[in-house]
Amino acid sequence: MPELPEVETTRRGIAPYVVGRRVTGVLLRRPNLRWPIPPEITALLPGQRIDAVERRAKYLLLHTEAGSALLHLGMTGVLRVLPPDAPVGRHDHVDIALERTSTQAPRILRFTDPRRFGCLLWQPPGTIHERLARLGPEPLTDAFDGDLLWRRSRGRTAAVKLFLMDNAIVVGVGNIYASEALFRAGVDPRKPAGSISRARYARLAAEVKHLLAWAIERGGTTLRDFLAPDGAPGYFFRELMVYGRTGEPCRVCGTPIRQVTLGQRSTFWCPRCQR
């Protein structure tokens, strides 16, 4: 599943091609993805200029005066900017046609999603879609820090990894990045969230920020399915310290990496480096 760095890579990849351009048409090859595609997508989006492309958690928003198209890539979704005559594949479900400009030929923004766990929704102007309303802060902003984690964790007995992955606490820290950040911060992912000190949360928040920024620059983890809008894979996966390395020696101390299931997600840690 694309995580926050992959989604941010997508945003950065498509923005230069779509911002400031008018939508000339929307072609839906099916009426639904994970959920039904609302009628506003075909009724209101055509004719609108895309003023900005924003990311909120793992959602992308195409902002226009009439409202915003809200996209989620799901587990296997990809957004690509293509020529209008690009061949259509069996999993190419949505085409958003973009006008010709003085410097760019006509293009289409194509949403491909083999497993159809992604979505295309609509957010009216001046509102916050219900899927965004209860989200925590963005991890790369000043609103997220160790003090926030410490305050929100008091009295919590859930494992700190599950706490860190809770989108109501902070958005976008998925399974891979939670495992990696906890390793870099030296925190055992199984420890109760409420037992972690303020100082250790300060280090953990700093590692989350560093790790996500680092991954974004490398195009994400790309374990299997994700490609950037230009078709290039991410390379951060080559630098993972614990994720997916069960039984292999820790890159720091040589101790075999262990694996356990927390919240139905595989969790990896070094029993020597993480306490």
Query: Mean of the pLDDT values across residues 55-78?
Result: 96
Quote the mean pLDDT of the chain. 93
Q: What is the pLDDT of residues 153-177, one digit of tens each?
A: 999 999 999 999 999 999 999 999 9
CA distance 15 to 54: 9
CA distance 150 to 157: 13
Beta strand residue intervals within the chain, DSSP E: 23-28, 52-56, 59-64, 67-72, 78-82, 92-98, 107-112, 119-123, 258-262, 265-269
* Bridge-based pairing state of the strands 52-56 and 23-28: unpaired
From the list 3, 6, 180, 207, the catalytic residue is 3
From the list 8, 21, 55, 58, the catalytic residue is 58
- Any binding-site annotation on 29? no
Pair 268, 262: CB distance under 8 Å: no
Q: What are the start and end residues of each CATH 1.10.8.50 domain in the chain?
A: 146-269
Could you tell me which CATH class the domain 146-269 is placed in?
A: mainly alpha
From the list 11, 190, 191, 265, the catalytic residue is 265
Whether residue 72 has pLDDT greater than 90? yes
Burial class (CB in 10 A: 0-12, 13-18, 19+), 230: exposed
Query: Is 58 an annotated catalytic residue?
Result: yes
Whether residue 178 has pLDDT greater than 80? yes
- Any binding-site annotation on 156? yes
- Any binding-site annotation on 93? no
What is the CATH superfamily name and number for domain 4-133?
MutM-like, N-terminal (3.20.190.10)
Share of the chain above pLDDT 70, in %: 93
Q: Count H helices, E strands: the chain?
A: 6, 10
Q: What are the start and end residues of each CATH 3.20.190.10 domain in the chain?
A: 4-133
CA distance 41 to 121: 8
The four Cα atoms 76, 80, 84, 89 give a dihedral, to 10 degrees, of -20
Q: What is the pLDDT of residues 110-128, one digit of tens each?
A: 999 999 999 999 999 999 9
Query: Is 125 an annotated catalytic residue?
Result: no
Q: What is the pTM of this model?
A: 0.89
